[in-house]
Chains A and B, each alone.
Chain A
């Protein structure tokens, strides 16, 4: 269900009367301007790794009677160090990424259509994207289908010039169904398929050679439930992921939004993640140290990227929000950790240092 908050508090209150609601104006009633900030620091025992600070400005405004426009701009400043293989040999890095997203949506009685473009640029990577999406609801608005297509064309020019002017093209498709189950329950099923061709290798890793195709499919199930007794809302989600690198991953997310007096609200959250390793992942052999582990003889594909290893991860976080008048402020603090032993249904990759990140996010929003 696209979120359509009624224009007026009286109209919102009138929704609870035994009346068929008036032709619901799907177009958002208010515009919003948001300033967000991310402060991210990851680390492994004994070493800090990547630090990212990223302010982001985003705007959403209704236009005319049936349109809305969204725009956002983000500046990521990245510093720190990243491993050259497995979790060893940290190499310093320093970069800045700027990205802009624009989209336009048209609203009708039972459907919406969106077109958007994105552009992201950093010293070694430029990504251009085009996005099309549509939603279609039934007459009673209890069921709604959504369809999305995302096209990406990326240009890769790594600073170490291991390759020059490489490309990656991705087509993402998604199909979803959102269903109102009761006056307090909303659920969603989303299917995704992605087909990517081009350069997937990490040019900064010592031993890394990945296939030139990467396809993945995802299945996402979400359920939001309002709890009468506390006035809170539980938000649960499960995602299954599998790709052509032979990686299978499970993600389980649980959040609970508890409104508090005076416009405050508190949302604790827990996210559990587990993935299997890529078929061409090379385990860290301690006997090779201090040199990187050699890939198997004759292997056409190999990687020592921690990201493609087998491990489990856990995020624990909490968000504090305050609303007053046309303003709202949100603060979210999260602790993220990856550990090989936490992998479900199998053994994790060996000899990788546990990875941790602390994530702080801020948002200040004004409605107009």
Chain B
């Protein structure tokens, strides 16, 4: 039941996001700022690779950002 609620919330958030944007769609020539590297989810050159690895080996939670890669025996 709880999992269904969470799934429903996520889907709801996604659809809301989509709906908000359909009100005034952004034209291609207005996307200059979005092309800046700091506006992307990849971020800067260091990125989140090391940090994600550190956090998933020092905390219980892991994943979420869809980033892949091998596991490790970080005991």
Contacts and interface: CB of A to CB of B under 8 A. Distances in A.
A321 B37 CA distance: 12
Contacts of B14: 177, 189
A353 interface: no
A192 interface: yes
B38 A233 contact: yes
Interface of B: 2-3, 6-7, 9-10, 13-14, 17-18, 20-21, 24-46, 49-51, 54-55, 57-66, 68-73, 75
Contact of A308 (B21, B60, B62): B60
A131 B28 CA distance: 32
Interface in A19-58: 19-21, 24, 34, 36, 38, 40, 42, 54, 56
Interface stretch (A104-112, A136-144, A293-301): A136-144
B44 A15 contact: no
Complex A-B, nearest 9 residue pairs according to Cβ-Cβ distance, in ascending order: A125-B73, A120-B70, A241-B61, A118-B70, A218-B64, A249-B61, A183-B30, A21-B28, A131-B68
Contacts, number: 252
B6 A219 contact: yes
Contact of A273 (B38, B59, B71): B59
B25 to A, nearest CB: 6
A235 B68 contact: no
A233 to B, nearest CB: 4
B16 to A, nearest CB: 9
Most chain A beta carbons < 10 A, residue from B6, B20, B71? B71
Given A239-B65, A241-B62, 5 more contacts: A12-B35, A182-B24, A186-B39, A251-B61, A328-B45
Nearest to A245: B60
A177 B72 contact: no
Given A217-B3, A243-B60, A156 B73 contact: yes
Most chain B beta carbons < 10 A, residue from A1, A24, A93, A355? A1
Contacts of A363: 44-46
Interface residues of A, number: 120
A148 interface: yes
30 contacts: A15-B32, A40-B54, A124-B73, A129-B68, A131-B68, A140-B26, A141-B31, A143-B21, A154-B73, A172-B68, A179-B20, A180-B21, A202-B75, A219-B6, A224-B40, A224-B41, A226-B33, A226-B36, A233-B38, A241-B62, A249-B59, A251-B64, A273-B59, A278-B60, A307-B60, A334-B51, A359-B50, A359-B54, A361-B51, A362-B46
Nearest to B20: A181
Given A179-B17, A226-B36, A332-B46, A219 B9 contact: yes
